[in-house]
Structure 1
Amino acid sequence: MNHNILYSFRRCPYAIRARWALLNTNQVVELREVELKNKPIELIQISKKATVPVLQTRLNKVIDESLEIMIWSIERSNMHELLGDNNNEKLEVIFSLIETNDKVFKYHLDRFKYASRFNFEESASHRAEAMKILLSLNNRLKVFSNEGKPLFLVDAKETLADWAIWPFVRQFRIADIKKFDQNHEIKHLRSWLNYFFTHEKYPIIMKKNEPWSKQNEPLFFGQ
């Protein structure tokens, strides 16, 4: 195999953040859009989880965790500033924020956004718990805003934390766009999210593609 392959799904926040990292670190991959109800055997054969995203490198290494794909791409590009410039204290904050997002926020997000799949009566309480986390992110950004610094989550500098978290905040917004956009309590977080929405590369990572088939010409992403 002479190129990297990424199995992806357009709307999945884990896949979004993997694509975002790959694109912004100039890593070219063959993008294979997956139909979740009809997963290709090629994906199932290389990953027991068979959940997107999955990266198969040209050296045949399989990475099936989105965060690991992001770190792989950052390290290959030597963009160490995204990992806190190898400062252990900053790195700890970065991964602490991501862990809260992945393990706590995502739990409440799913039970709020997809209430019909869980317990609809508990939807409001899950939204409230998710909002607590969003407010804590907003407060981090507020400090930097008051100091006239850029709106990024760690030390007012763009890091892996920003890249890993924004697709999930996007999912939260989609559940009730009007309510999110009119919430003054999270105005700094809304500005932070808008940075990604208005980024020139946002349309590229969110472009709709046909499900992958062996019969199709390879679709290269990141060129």
Structure 2
Amino acid sequence: MKHNILYSFRRCPYAIRARWALINTNQVVELREVDLKNKPHELIQISKKATVPVLKTSLNKVIDESLDIMVWSIERSNMHALFGNNKNLKEIFNLIETNDQVFKYHLDRFKYASRFNLEESETHRAAGMKILVSLNNRLKEFSSKGKPLFLVDAKETLADWAIWPFVRQFRIADIKKFDQNQEIQFLRNWLSYFFTHEKYPLVMKKNEPWRKQNKPLIFGQ
């Protein structure tokens, strides 16, 4: 059987959300963990960007954007409820765009301040927190109505799946401060849903970097 192939990196939030979507939509792939300092020729050959994640389907289609991989997996599994409805589809993608274009910018300059400008670290942390508080307030509103803690219409959608790995990254930058921050208590509970999910250990499992001679590592079974 010819499998779909996913080039991935365990800690990359883009790769995490791709793996999360694949495993939660029951898509089976051959997982190839990439050593970012020694990228395999096979990855470079199929993707000019050569940045993870990259999915090569069994039909030789190459998808090298994480969000596109997520959409592909959801459509393939016919789990269209994750796109919400016509009323809130735009809202879902607006939240993801803010995460990818704005929050990620500040996240990098806070978490990896030594690579950018240490003196501006707190400025970027505050900017990131402002976005997290806005997400928290969405969840707080649903909680006050006794509804589940999800970002759009209190229903689990693509927005939740696409954003949580980046919130995880923000938390890692200062775990103690994040976990004690009462300003984002609903967001912390939301994040805990993913941390305690039965699929989380599978998605975050450590794997050795892929080599051509390796036995295929099947992910999603």
Same fold (TM over 0.5): yes
Q: 2:162 is matched with which residue: 145, 161, 164?
A: 164
- 2:71 matched residue in structure 1: 71
- 1:185 matched residue in structure 2: 183
Q: Distance in 2 between matches of 1:20 and 1:90?
A: 22
Which residue identity lines up with residue 74 of structure 2 in the other structure? I
Q: Distance in 1 between matches of 2:117 and 2:87?
A: 39
Matched, 1:137 2:129: no
- 1:31 matched residue in structure 2: 31
Q: Distance in 2 between matches of 1:44 and 1:26?
A: 27
Q: Distance in 2 between matches of 1:216 and 1:63?
A: 23
For 1:71-114, what per-residue CA distance to the aligned partner results, in whole angstroms no more than 9, with x for missing partners? 00000000011001xx2221000000000000000000000000
- 2:118 matched residue in structure 1: 120
Structure 1 gap ranges (5+): none
Q: 2:108 is matched with which residue: 107, 110, 121?
A: 110
- 1:8 matched residue in structure 2: 8
Percentage of matched positions with identical amino acids: 84
Which residue identity lines up with residue 75 of structure 2 in the other structure? E
Q: 2:208 is matched with which residue: 194, 210, 220?
A: 210
Task: Output the TM-score relative to the length of structure 2.
Answer: 0.99
Cα-Cα RMSD: 0.7
- 2:192 matched residue in structure 1: 194
Matched, 1:58 2:58: yes
For 1:101-144, what per-residue CA distance to the aligned partner results, in whole angstroms no more than 9, with x for missing partners? 00000000000000000010000000000000000000000000
Q: Distance in 1 between matches of 2:204 and 2:149?
A: 23
Structure 1's consecutive aligned runs of 4 or more residues displaced over 6 angstroms after TM superposition are none
Q: Distance in 2 between matches of 1:125 and 1:3?
A: 45
Q: Distance in 2 between matches of 1:185 and 1:112?
A: 19
Deviation of 1:3 after TM superposition, in Å, equals 1.2
Name the SS of the counterpart of 1:144 in structure 2.
Answer: helix
Q: Distance in 1 between matches of 2:3 and 2:200?
A: 24
Q: Distance in 1 between matches of 2:108 and 2:214?
A: 34
Deviation of 1:2 after TM superposition, in Å, equals 1.6
Q: Distance in 1 between matches of 2:138 and 2:83?
A: 18
Q: Distance in 2 between matches of 1:10 and 1:161?
A: 21
For 1:56-81, what per-residue CA distance to the aligned partner results, in whole angstroms no more than 9, with x for missing partners? 00000000000000000000000011
Which residue identity lines up with residue 187 of structure 2 in the other structure? L
Which residue identity lines up with residue 62 of structure 1 in the other structure? V
Which residue identity lines up with residue 198 of structure 2 in the other structure? E
Task: Output the TM-score relative to the length of structure 1.
Answer: 0.98
Structure 2 gap ranges (5+): none
Name the SS of the counterpart of 1:193 in structure 2.
Answer: helix
Name the SS of the counterpart of 1:89 in structure 2.
Answer: coil
- 1:49 matched residue in structure 2: 49
Name the SS of the counterpart of 1:153 in structure 2.
Answer: coil
